[in-house]
Amino acid sequence: QVQLKESGPGLVAPSQSLSITCTVSGFSLTDYGVSWIRQPPGKGLEWLGVIWGGGSTYYNSALKSRLSISKDNSKSQVFLKMNSLQTDDTAMYYCAKHERGYDYFDYWGQGTTLTVSS
């Protein structure tokens, strides 16, 4: 069955960088897009960016200068990198699979919590 699982550092100091990994199973990264979405504590959802099966990426323009999404198809892993972290980047970070040919998210990971604090 389809599964996604995020893993990250948990705590990062302000101005530092973040790297989160999404490990997937049950589908091929060459066939489906995977997006990153975050949710600050007690708040709503914000789409960050997507990497498509062919490797092309799109980012939320509000964060584009700080984001990078890549993947390793052979390892079934997608990577989110964000630099210049601030306290308002504290959030739950989710990876989510796209339905083929559509831009909604049919499967989500459990999320990984990131706290930006000194």
Partner 1 sequence: DIQMTQSPASLSVSVGETVTITCRASENIYSNLAWYQQKQGKSPQLLVYAATNLADGVPSRFSGSGSGTQYSLKINSLQSEDFGSYYCQHFWGTPWTFGGGTKLEIK
Q: Which of 13, 86, 99, 100 binds partner 1 (CB under 8 A)?
A: 99
Secondary structure in 3-state letters for 40-54: CCCCCCEEEEEECCC
Q: Which of 18, 109, 114, 116 binds partner 1 (CB under 8 A)?
A: 109
- Side chain identity at residue 66, one-letter code: R
Decide if residue 56 touches partner 1 (CB under 8 A): no
Beta bridge partners of 28: none
Decide if residue 61 touches partner 1 (CB under 8 A): yes
* Residues 8, 82: Cα–Cα separation, whole Å: 12
Residues near partner 1, by CB under 8 A: 35, 44-47, 50, 58, 60-62, 94, 99, 102-111
